[in-house]
Amino acid sequence: MTGLKPETREKLKKVATPTLMTALYKRGLRNQWIQDVHRINRDAGPMVGEAFTLRYMPAREDLNQLSVFRDREHPQRKAVEICPPGAVLVMDSRKNPRAASAGSILISRLMVRGVAGVVTDGGFRDTPEIENLGIPAYHNRPSAPTNLTLHQAIDINVPIGCGDAPVFPGDVIVGDAEGVVVIPAHLADEIADETTEMTAFEDFVTEEVLKGRSILGLYPATDEQTNVDFAAWRERTGR
């Protein structure tokens, strides 16, 4: 995957997911938030990368014995080995955390391969170990049972749903301490530019509010004095 520009990646690392969701809302996109997922390792930093997907379907017991992992083409194992460095592995677990989507060994493998993050709308196992990994990992809740209990990995890098959000391969996935947003690939550059500007204004507004200023006329900037003050703030801060 080479569609995500390095400068776009760096901009998105500095933008909060609520700001991104507002920019998407302005474009009529209202379902790009992956519902009910939480970052396990709070200190892992921001997550930005193109989506590489893994789709699970309900497991059929006779096809999901432990012996299936001996097959090097098993979709879960294969996805871990071929997910491109810099991408985010996004798993469709049908919002079912009763069995794990993956565990610390596979997520460690993704980390050392340079993958930018991992997301499931189900659960991960070995979460005490995942808490100490340097790769951002998002899930619904811890789940000790092996994925084979309920999930059959069936397809790689196809369009999926994750936490009610549509995810197409190559979409740009951004995660922070709040959660995960999906940016359609063709919008990534303009969203990054716009939200960088929005972030500067939001930082200015926050400073003003903490000084005691009213939000009326400030947020949104309906008073001309707000624009004058913002321009002066930008000159002073280099933003």
pLDDT-based confidence at 71, cuts 50/70/90? confident
Which residue, 52, 20, 49, is CA-closest to 33?
A: 20
Q: What is the pLDDT of residues 126-146, one digit of tens each?
A: 999 999 999 999 999 999 999
Per-residue model confidence as pLDDT tens digits over 97-131: 999 999 999 999 999 999 999 999 999 999 999 99
- Residue type present at position 136: P
Q: Is 236 annotated as a binding residue?
A: no
Going by pLDDT thresholds of 50, 70 and 90, the confidence category of residue 2 is low
Structure tokens at 75: 């979709």
Q: What domains appear along the chain, each with residue ranges and CATH number?
A: 31-183 (3.50.30.40), 191-237 (no CATH)
What pLDDT is stored for residue 20 in this prediction? 98
Residue 168: CB atoms within 10 Å: 14
Q: Is the peptide bond before 75 cis (omega within 30 degrees of 0)?
A: no
Question: Mapped to the 3 state alphabet, what secondary structure does the chain carry?
Answer: CCCCCHHHHHHHHCCCHHHHHHHHHHCCCCCCECCCCEECCCCCCCEEEEEEEEEEEECCHHHCCHHHHHCCCCHHHHHHHHCCCCCEEEEECCCCCCCEEECHHHHHHHHHCCCCEEEECCEECCHHHHCCCCCCEEECCCCCCCHHHCEEEEEECCCEEECCEEECCCCEEEECCCCEEEECHHHHHHHHHHHHHHHHHHHHHHHHHHCCCCCCCCCCCCCHHHHHHHHHHHHHHCC
User: Is 191 labeled as ligand-binding?
Assistant: no
End-to-end alpha-carbon separation of the chain, Å? 31
Rounded mean pLDDT, 59-81: 89
To the question of whether residue 155 is assigned a binding role by annotation, the answer is no
Q: Provide the mean pLDDT of the chain.
A: 96
38 vs 191: CA distance, rounded Å: 23
Residue 36, pLDDT above cutoff 70: yes
What pLDDT score was predicted for residue 74? 87
164 is in an annotated binding site: no
Band of pLDDT at residue 161, cut at 50, 70 and 90: very high
How much is the pLDDT for 1?
A: 57
126 annotated binding-site participant? yes
103 is in an annotated binding site: yes
Residue 225 CB coordination number (10 Å):
10
Q: Would you tell me the crossing angle of helices 224-237 and 188-210 to the nearest 10 degrees?
A: 100
- The pLDDT of residue 67 is above 90: no
